[in-house]
A and B are shown apart, each in its own frame.
Chain A
Amino acid sequence: MVALLGRGNELITLADVSKRYPNGTDALRDVDLEIDSGDFVFLVGSSGAGKSSLIRLLIREELPSSGRVWVDGQDVVRMRRSAVPKLRRRVGVVFQDFKLLPRKTVAENVGFALLVTGHSGEEVREETERALALVGLSQRREHFPDQLSGGEKQRTAIARALVSRPKILIADEPTGNLDPVTSWEIIKLLVRVNELGTTMLMATHNAEIVNALRRRVVHLDHGMVVRDEREGQYAA
């Protein structure tokens, strides 16, 4: 009943959420979680702890087996299928493997998010330039993904996630494929995005980054929240 007793500033609420897959695996068990608007939250835990399952519930790629999920005031579980695209326009997502389209340039990859959601050509151009400037890729706008470094690819993915000005940015292991120096560049960018007002939820295995930033840490273990600290460390 966490959600119903909330303080009114929550952007994400999970109330008593469990997720069991058809093969019998319990990915999440009785998870209660609130994330306030403007928060920067690390989601940590070993592989298979339930981090990715939780993220998939937030963008309604999957439904929970039980419990309720609210994102930006929307009941994600009960919303109609036709309402899902609008939810996803308010939640930007970045993945470890970037998910860029190889035959599109950086600008086309970023603008694609607006193009397919019905924005005018003028809006696509303006917002794409703004997002590229934010991630520092304006000079690389005409390059193709295979001409970019790993860090640039991830910055392109972040620009695409931010181009529709989402309230929440979810990053699932965004530094998983990057070297330490590039990882820090990406983290600095995400901190900056958070400071500009976007709520951040980042799943990571990178203890160094978590420990250095000292932000809120939610630790999942076997699908359960075992630790939730305001200025947390990777390992308690």
Chain B
Amino acid sequence: MRRLEYIGTTAAQGFWRNPVMSIASTFTIGLMLLLFAFFLATDRGLQAAVGVLESKVELAIFLEDNARVSDVLALRARIEGDPAVSRVDYVTKAQAMARLVDIAARRPDIQIVDTSSNPLQDSLEIKLGHAQDASRVAASLREEIGKGVVSDVVDNPQVVDKLLTITRVLSFGGLAVLAMMLIVALFVIVNTIRIAVHARRDEIEIMKLVGATDWFVRWPFIVEGMLVGALGAVAATAVVLVAAGPVMGAMVNFIEILPLSFGTTFVWQLVGSVFALALAVGGGGAMLSVRAHLAK
């Protein structure tokens, strides 16, 4: 108990004995963690957006007006047999017209002048499991054009492709920036603890002289580093929780497909990850700093 008390008290003293460096470290770690939280949230948001888009990926096959029902059914069965396909719906030309009328009723910029004739075609709407299969399935279906059943194949995977590219760029870019911030945070922590070690060098010398283990010497500094990390995490979490609403609102307006809320589970995961990284960086930086001193 006395040892724990000693470790805790010494760590707290170390933090307040050098307030400028301690606060600078806390600020740097806080910034790094804020970036980390933003990265996690953005990544999760984009993943969700990709998921939403992927679930909407469709190919449409327009059928010849005179195609035989048995041929259409055979084609449908063959498409459903493809493992990349999750669902196939048959849409009659009447249903297609009804949809168009419905859309036109909600969109003032669209007007249907004449509804007496229906120039639309029957179609098969194909839902895919993953966006990346769209071009392959579309290519195989295009081979059916001109054989009496399929008149045209329409696919539009470019939006998903673009989103996947953005996700990849943001992931790599975010990771690179995060790695740089991590190095800066470690550097600041190592220097803060080095100053604390220097301030207590006489005490450390006596501790080693009377037979304290290296771990006993290390622990107060590791706890001090973790304290700096934890305070940075508290600051970053507070900023994230306060700013989350407005930022999310802006993002949802900007990219309409982002989900409105991440849910409580994700928030807890985010807070947990932020604190875990903070403690690891704070404690790890302190370890590096003390190890260099003890190795002398």
Contacts and interface: CB of A to CB of B under 8 A. Distances in A.
Interface of A: 59, 81-82, 85-89, 93, 99, 101, 112-113, 115-118, 120-121, 124, 160-161, 164
A112 B3 contact: no
Closest 5 CB pairs of A and B: A89-B211, A113-B210, A88-B211, A116-B212, A85-B211
Contacts of A93: 209
A59 B203 CA distance: 17
22 contacts: A82-B214, A85-B208, A85-B213, A87-B211, A88-B208, A88-B211, A89-B210, A89-B211, A93-B209, A99-B205, A99-B206, A99-B209, A101-B206, A112-B207, A112-B210, A113-B211, A115-B2, A116-B6, A116-B216, A118-B216, A161-B210, A164-B210
Contact of B6 (A81, A115, A164): A115
Given A115-B6, A118-B216, A121-B1, A101 B211 contact: no
Contact of A101 (B1, B2, B202, B208): B202
Contacts of A82: 213-214
Interface in B1-25: 1-3, 6
A87 B212 CA distance: 11
The main secondary structure of chain B at its interface with chain A is helix
Give chain A's interface secondary structure class: helix
Contacts of A59: 209
Interface of B: 1-3, 6, 202-203, 205-214, 216
B210 A118 contact: no
A116 to B, nearest CB: 4
A117 B212 CA distance: 5
Nearest to B200: A101
B41 to A, nearest CB: 44
A99 B209 CA distance: 10
A160 B203 CA distance: 13
B209 A117 contact: no
Contacts of B1: 121
Specify which of A89, A93, A115 lies most central, judged by the most chain B CB atoms within 10 Å of its CB: A115
Nearest to B3: A118
